């Protein structure tokens, strides 16, 4: 497992990747060519992946993300050290916080 701030990145065995995700279109890259995992609402900083790969958003209110890195990559952020990732599939999980009566994503 890998963690950078409020983003947790968990390796997923290839056989456990949902079939629809393997062929699904990926999320667009930002203007800098990165795959953005989480964008800071307050600072504008981003947890993002640099390198070849694809980010697939699954349905749901917090839309779990699946990340495929055929050659590996790096997770970067303006306020954190870069984290190298090996090749493979990963589930990207945003930290949530409980607010009485609901749950919301942590805002940075």
- Predicted local distance difference test score (pLDDT) of residue 97: 59
Q: What is the value of pTM for the model shown?
A: 0.81
Q: What is d(CA 47, CA 34) in angstroms, rounded to the nearest whole number?
A: 9
- The total of other beta-carbon atoms located within 10 Å of residue 51's CB is 18
The DSSP H or E segment spanning 23 is helix 19-23
- Predicted local distance difference test score (pLDDT) of residue 92: 93
Task: Check if the beta carbon of residue 64 is closer than 8 Å to that of residue 17.
Answer: no
- Predicted local distance difference test score (pLDDT) of residue 102: 61
- Predicted local distance difference test score (pLDDT) of residue 107: 52
- Torsion sign (Cα): 46, 52, 57, 63: negative
Residue 77 CB-density burial (10 A; 0-12 exposed, 13-18 middle, 19+ buried):
buried
The number of C-alpha atoms within 13 Å of 16 and in the hemisphere containing its C-beta is: 9
Low-confidence stretches of the chain (pLDDT beneath 70)? 41-43, 60-63, 96-99, 101-108
- Predicted local distance difference test score (pLDDT) of residue 49: 94
- The total of other beta-carbon atoms located within 10 Å of residue 103's CB is 10
């Amino acid at each position: 497992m890998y963690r950078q701030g409020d983003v947790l990145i968990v390796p997923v065995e290839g056989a456990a990747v949902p079939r629809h995700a393997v062929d699904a279109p990926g999320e667009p890259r930002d203007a800098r060519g990165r795959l953005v995992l989480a964008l800071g609402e307050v600072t504008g900083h981003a947890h993002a992946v640099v390198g070849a790969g694809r980010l697939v958003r699954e349905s749901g209110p917090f839309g779990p993300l699946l990340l495929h890195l055929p050659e590996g990559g790096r997770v970067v952020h303006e306020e954190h050290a870069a984290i190298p990732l090996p090749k493979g599939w990963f589930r990207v999980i945003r930290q949530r916080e409980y607010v009485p009566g609901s749950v919301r994503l942590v805002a940075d």
